[in-house]
């Protein structure tokens, strides 16, 4: 800004101060939210749907939400958002509202002002493998014929993850239960960590998701005289565990709880592989919880370190397992860490990495891989399959 005359100097300075005081990014974001209507409580459903939509709007703005904002009568009364990028909701407007299958859907737009300082790794999609969810209480699925719930829910979750190709590269969906049960994993258990690492290496994924469906029980509504006239409430509780496959460590655990009226007959064997289930109020609630899970995974991994594995040695240099689908581009730089695992005095395998000197630059990008070339005199032949490449 240039002030051409002395008379305008003060006005110009004031204008400059005002411009500097403005948020770096301010925009309106449109988002949708939904919530089940239970016992006719429209007000509570509206609050939950609004919270859901605001959460989605924040994530769309580039903010990472770790806890939700309390809402009362449709307005923000206590700010409990913790946003890594400093985002803040100034106001929001309700655009549409409708009810379908005992579920309230809203569309709103929110004025969000955030410091859009993206972390370097946020533009890279993270590799992820999903293992079929366990079923904690199989007897609960007999009502409604939901025996196929674990593979069906797992497949749907995997498809949702795969559809977010800016955040994830969904490598594999493993349709079987592994020996590992995260509920009983001892923190730092070497055997479990080694199995997670082996699974990660076998699938070419940096991250592995395991989980369980813990509760699909029914709760009668009304009293003893009227309960037979009303649809029961069916619960849905799911746990998801996110592991870093490079070191086998647990990154996070999230629990998702919901419920909706079960509108089918007592003897109906509905199953979960048909539209009848997923279009019902209960199916939509399950779908909603899966959407929340994908949002949480995206927020959790947005600024996570990008780590590739060396999978081959090319005449031009090492070949890593991250490529175009991950957002890798020509000129990206990596640091190599040599694998130097050893067995300790107790017979346990310990991981150790020795950093190589110098940087390596991406000189060729493939769909699911890239070729690196050293930027100094470091001899590429010293690099071994299984070494790590850390994005700078």
In 101-175, DSSP assigns E strands to 103-113, 126-131, 134-135, 168-174
pLDDT at 225 (0 to 100): 66
Q: Regarding beta strands 75-78 and 353-355, do their DSSP bridges make them parallel or antiparallel, or are they unpaired?
A: unpaired
pLDDT of residue 349: 65
CA-closest candidate to residue 361, choices 329, 387, 315: 329
Whole-angstrom distance, CA of residue 61 vs CA of residue 134: 34
Instruction: For the chain, list the domains and their CATH numbers.
Output: 28-68+81-112 (3.30.1660.40), 126-222+229-302 (3.40.50.10610), 307-391 (2.40.10.410)
Q: How far apart are CA 155 and CA 145, in angstroms?
A: 18
Summarised one tens digit per residue, pLDDT across range 151-208 is 999 999 999 999 999 999 999 999 988 888 888 876 667 788 889 999 999 999 999 9
Q: Please, which residues bridge with residue 364 across strands?
A: 371
- With a cut of 70, list the residues of the chain below it in pLDDT: 1-26, 63-88, 114-118, 186-188, 222, 224-228, 342-343, 345-350, 377-381
pTM to 2 decimals? 0.80
Please give the Cα distance from 330 to 391 (Å, whole number).
Answer: 13
* 288, 258 contact by CB (below 8 A): yes
DSSP for 1-29, please give it.
----SGGGHHHHHHHHHHHHHS-S-EEEE
How far is 178 from 241, CA to CA, in rounded Å? 14
Position 77 scores a pLDDT of: 42
pLDDT at position 180 is: 83
pLDDT of residue 315: 82
Residues 209 and 237 sit within 8 Å (Cβ to Cβ): no
Neighbour count for residue 106 (Cβ, 10 Å): 22
pLDDT number for residue 23? 46
């Amino acid at each position: 800004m240039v002030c051409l005359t002395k008379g305008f100097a003060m006005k110009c300075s004031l204008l400059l101060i005002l411009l500097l005081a403005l948020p770096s990014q301010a925009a309106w974001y449109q988002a949708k939210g939904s919530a089940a209507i239970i016992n006719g409580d429209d007000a509570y459903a509206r609050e939950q749907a609004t919270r859901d939509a605001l959460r989605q709007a924040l994530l769309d703005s580039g903010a990472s939400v770790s806890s939700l904002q309390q809402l009362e009568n449709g307005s923000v009364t206590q700010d409990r958002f913790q946003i890594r990028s400093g985002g803040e909701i100034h106001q929001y407007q309700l655009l549409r509202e409708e009810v379908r299958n005992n579920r309230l859907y809203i569309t709103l737009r929110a004025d969000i002002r955030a410091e859009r300082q993206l972390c370097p790794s946020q533009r890279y999609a993270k590799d992820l493998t999903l293992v079929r969810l366990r079923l904690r209480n199989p007897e609960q699925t007999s009502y409604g014929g939901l025996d196929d719930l674990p593979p069906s829910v797992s497949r749907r979750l995997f498809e949702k993850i795969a559809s977010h190709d800016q955040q994830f590269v969904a490598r594999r969906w493993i349709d079987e239960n592994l020996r590992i049960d995260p509920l009983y994993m001892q923190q730092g258990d070497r055997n479990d960590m080694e199995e997670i690492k082996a699974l990660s290496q076998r699938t070419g994924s940096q991250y592995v998701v395991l989980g369980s469906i813990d509760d699909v029980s029914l709760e009668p509504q009304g009293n003893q005289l009227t309960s037979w006239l009303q649809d029961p409430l069916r619960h849905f509780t799911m746990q998801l565990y996110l592991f870093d496959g490079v070191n086998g460590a647990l990154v996070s655990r999230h629990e998702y709880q919901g419920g909706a009226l079960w509108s089918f007959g007592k003897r109906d064997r509905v199953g979960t592989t048909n539209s009848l289930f997923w279009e019902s109020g209960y199916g939509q609630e399950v779908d909603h919880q899966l959407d929340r899970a994908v949002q949480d995974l995206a927020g959790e991994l947005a600024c996570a370190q990008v780590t590739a594995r060396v999978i081959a040695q090319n005449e031009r240099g090492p070949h890593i397992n991250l490529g175009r689908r991950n957002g890798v581009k020509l000129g990206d730089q990596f640091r190599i860490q040599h694998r130097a695992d050893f067995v300790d005095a107790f017979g346990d395998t310990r991981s150790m990495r020795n950093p190589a000197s110098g940087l390596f630059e991406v000189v060729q990008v493939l769909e699911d891989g890239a070729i690196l070339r050293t930027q100094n005199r470091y001899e590429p032949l010293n690099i071994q399959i299984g070494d790590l490449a850390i994005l700078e």
